[in-house]
Chain A
Amino acid sequence: MEKRVIFRSSWLPWALLLPQMAVILVFFFWPASQALVQSLQLQDAFGTSTEWVGLANFRQLFDDPSYIESFKTTALFSALVAGLGISLSLLLAVFADRIVRGAMIYKTLLVVPYAVAPAVAAVLWVFMFSPSLGVVSYALGHFGIEWNHLLNSDHAMALIVMASVWKQISYNFLFFLAGLQSIPKSLIEAAAIDGARPWRRFWTIQFPLLSPTTFFLLVINVVYAFFDTFAIVDAATQGGPGKETAILVYKVYYDGFKAMDLGGSAAQSVVLMLIVVVLTVVQFRYVEKKVNY
């Protein structure tokens, strides 16, 4: 789309674009190209010599069982975060949609977690589930569950999933509520006149009409679980107990900054870039469909 009326100047548009372009060239494109280059190089531990090794870093990466393991961890983690986050917030949105009085208070309280930093969210949950003094782990003890996310990898995974879902529930809730409120009331009324009960109305009318929102949130939640949960993992489990909660993003950071494996970390960066590209394409193709919908 183009404007019919425009301004004429040979230099002004460049001057206007300059700040944005300078930032993206220096801090986005240059580092990204460096990651590509480094992923094809091998550097010794002191950074004194580098040699070209072609795809060796990638081959090594996919031969490394811990990397494959990290893929599985990330897949499990994002499936749990997206699945639980979406179903819980849909449940809340459906009931919030039925409430006439006081809906605003519930809504305000439910959006607060969005404002909480992921790292802070992790600290709050670690505190509740701390093996020695946490309130929830103490209560679980009465049910015979010996909670210890520092030793038990299932507990560690559950902890980061809960913190991540908690943080994302506001976002999902707001989108579902907006989606529900945009469904024409006449449809629901017609179904009610035909004798459909609320449960049936939900599954035959509201849920199908919400499917664009649900799909959109699915993509967003997967992106969130992949990339925005680094802080939660770092603050809550640091990838532990062993490496059972080291999701891909955490592994890039760990290998690059703690284990100082630059080539391997850069190769992982490139793999992650490919994943983002795929996810972005999925997201935008969906958005095109939404316009026609």
Chain B
Amino acid sequence: MVERRLTAGILAHVVMLIGVAIVAFPLYLAFVASTHTAQEIVQAPMPLLPGSHFWETYKAALFGRDNGAGSTAPVARMMWVSLVSALVITFGKIAISLLSAFAVVYFRFPFKQLCFWMIFITLMLPVEVRIGPTYQVVSDLGMLNSYAGLTIPLIASATATFLFRQFFLTVPDELVEAARMDGAGPMRFFKDVLVPLSRTSIASLFVIQFIYGWNQYLWPLLATTTEDMYPVVIGIKRMIAGGDGQNEWNIVMATALLAMLPPAAVVILMQKWFVKGLVDTEK
């Protein structure tokens, strides 16, 4: 720093503390609400300090309960659906993008440019602009209410393909020559040289795509109609259908916290790769 003045340093901390407090307040309030009973919350103003019903609420949320407004399905099942879909989407994207980037960089074949551009154009076709017809395709293929329907339509990835392509282009040609001299074929080179070299890129993509997969909303909203295939993000929306007074806000808030736990853990534990992933995927 240029000058070190105590007041400037204190000011910076004060601003940051206010910023963090505002950003964290909704999360804190959700936690507080999840430790009270529904009745305690409905009496405005609700308590601002944690209560003593933590275990009850989370148990009721995770394993279901008998009655209540809106959806009462067990959240444990929804978390499982979310986890499976997010992991399939993440690893699916990484795998098919590694393969296509390998094909585009290390081979020469007719229509290569065309294939490349087709992958590029998918950037301009997010689910939001083609929801109706995509829904029709998936329902015609009988993939509604299945993991296949939840994941496969989201598995193509232009950004991941570009990222790996950029990276492969920086890999020295000498490695290919050395591999060839040792008698390794293309797939052997891919498996033993290229994939291990791409570890950091794979880790960064994992963080970004896991969050993407876990937080999907519009697509699962269309592709699932039965409670046992709801991801948790959809489940929570169905829970607040009852209107202000009847919602069991303690359960809803417990579910909200459970729903953000896995992606938040991934972001915090893999922060280094997360920041790298954000910067790289936007290049």
Residues of A within 8 A of B (CB): 1, 3-10, 12-14, 16-17, 19-21, 23-24, 26-32, 34-35, 38, 88, 91-92, 95-96, 98-100, 102, 106, 108-121, 123-128, 130-135, 138-139, 166, 169, 171, 174-175, 178, 188-189, 192, 198, 216, 220, 227, 230-231, 234-235, 249, 252-253, 256-257, 262, 265-266, 269, 272-273, 276-277, 280, 287
B92 CB to closest chain A CB (Å) equals: 8
Query: Residue A9 contacts which of B107, B123, B217 (CB distance < 8 angstroms)?
Result: B107
Q: Which residues of B contact A20 (CB under 8 A)?
A: 96-97, 99-100, 119, 156, 161
Q: Is the CB of A133 within 8 A of B122?
A: no
Contact for B2 among A8, A13, A17, A192, CB less than 8 A = A192
Please determine whether B107 and A266 come into contact, CB atoms closer than 8 angstroms.
Answer: no
Given the contacts A24-B156, A133-B41, A115 and B275 also touching, CB distance less than 8 Å: no
The answer to whether B24 has its CB under 8 Å from any CB of chain A is yes
Bound complex: CA A159 to CA B155 (Å): 32
Chain B residues whose C-beta falls within 8 Å of the C-beta of A17 in the assembled complex:
99-100, 103-104, 115
Report chain B residues within 8 Å CB of A111: 267-268, 271, 274
- Rounded to whole angstroms, the CA-CA distance of A276 and B129 in the bound complex is 9
Given contacts A17-B99, A96-B12, 19 further A-B contacts (CB under 8 A): A3-B169, A7-B186, A10-B109, A13-B109, A14-B103, A16-B103, A20-B161, A27-B138, A35-B130, A106-B19, A109-B24, A117-B263, A127-B26, A133-B41, A134-B44, A227-B129, A230-B218, A252-B129, A266-B132
B156–A269 CB distance below 8 A? no
18 contacts between A and B (CB under 8 A): A16-B102, A17-B104, A19-B100, A21-B118, A23-B153, A29-B118, A96-B12, A99-B9, A112-B24, A114-B267, A115-B264, A120-B259, A124-B30, A124-B256, A174-B275, A188-B2, A257-B132, A276-B126
Q: How far is the CA of A3 from the CA of B104 in the complex (A)?
A: 10
**Docked complex: B1-50 residues within 8 A CB-CB of A:** 1-3, 8-9, 11-13, 15-16, 19-20, 23-27, 29-30, 33, 41-46, 48
A178→B16 contact, CB < 8 A: no
| Assembled-state Cα–Cα distance A128/B28 (Å) | 11
Cα A272 to Cα B133 with chains together (Å): 14
Which of A24, A135, A216, A231 sits near B218, CB closer than 8 Å? A231
In the bound assembly, the distance between CA atoms of A7 and B19 in angstroms comes to 54
Q: Does B131 contact A (CB under 8 A)?
A: yes
Which of the listed residues B23, B96, B138, B252 has the most CB atoms from chain A within 10 Å of its own CB? B23
Q: How large is the interface on B (under 10, 10 to 19, 20 to 34, 35 or more residues)?
A: 35 or more
- Which residues in A have their C-beta under 8 angstroms from that of B66? none
* Chain A residues closer than 8 Å to B217, beta-carbon distance: 117-119, 230-231, 234
- Inter-chain contact B211/A114, CB cutoff 8 Å: yes
User: Are A30 and B137 in contact, CB atoms less than 8 angstroms apart?
Assistant: yes
A30–B98 alpha-carbon span in the complex (Å): 24
Q: Which residue of B lies closest to A273 (CB)?
A: B129
Most buried by B among A19, A100, A230: A19
For residue B253, CB closer than 8 A to chain A, the reply is yes
Q: Would A38 and B156 count as touching, CB distance under 8 A? A: no
* CB <8 Å contact, A110 and B236: no
Stretch from B55-63, B73-81, B195-203, B237-245 forming part of the interface with A: B237-245
Identify the interface centre among B129, B187, B214: most chain A CB within 10 Å of its CB. Answer: B129
- A166–B27 Cα distance when bound, in Å, is 11
Provide the residues of chain A in CB contact with B104, threshold 8 Å: 13, 17
Task: Decide: B23 and A27 in contact? CB cutoff 8 A.
Answer: no
State in angstroms the CA–CA spacing of A31 and B33 once bound together.
43
Cβ distance A221 to chain B, nearest Cβ, rounded Å: 12
Q: Are B13 and A99 in contact (CB under 8 A)?
A: yes
Assuming the A-B contacts A5-B173, A24-B119, A227-B128, are A30 and B29 also in contact, with contact meaning beta carbons closer than 8 angstroms in the complex? no
Which residues of chain A come closer than 8 Å to B215, judged between CB atoms? 116-119, 231
* Least distance between B243 CB and chain A CB atoms (Å): 9
The closest CB in chain B to the CB of A137 belongs to B44
- Measured between beta carbons, the chain B residues less than 8 angstroms from A121 are 26
Give the residue name and chain of the A residue nearest to B217 (CB).
Answer: A231
| Chain B residues whose CB sits within 8 angstroms of the CB of A169 once the complex forms | 23
If A12-B186, A108-B268 touch, whether A28 touches B130 (CB-CB below 8 Å) is: yes
Q: Within the assembled complex, what's the spacing in Å between the Cα atoms of A235 and B70?
A: 14
In the complex where A16-B102, A120-B259, A256-B131 touch, is A98 in contact with B12 (Cβ < 8 A)? yes
Given A124-B26, A132-B44, A280-B123, also A198-B8 (CB < 8 A): yes
A124 to B29, CA, bound (A): 8
Is the beta-carbon distance between B125 and A28 smaller than 8 angstroms?
Answer: yes
Closest to B261 in A: A115
CB-defined interface of B100-118 with A at 8 Å, one 1/0 digit per residue? 1011111111001001001
Task: Tell me the minimal C-beta distance from B3 to chain A in angstroms.
Answer: 6
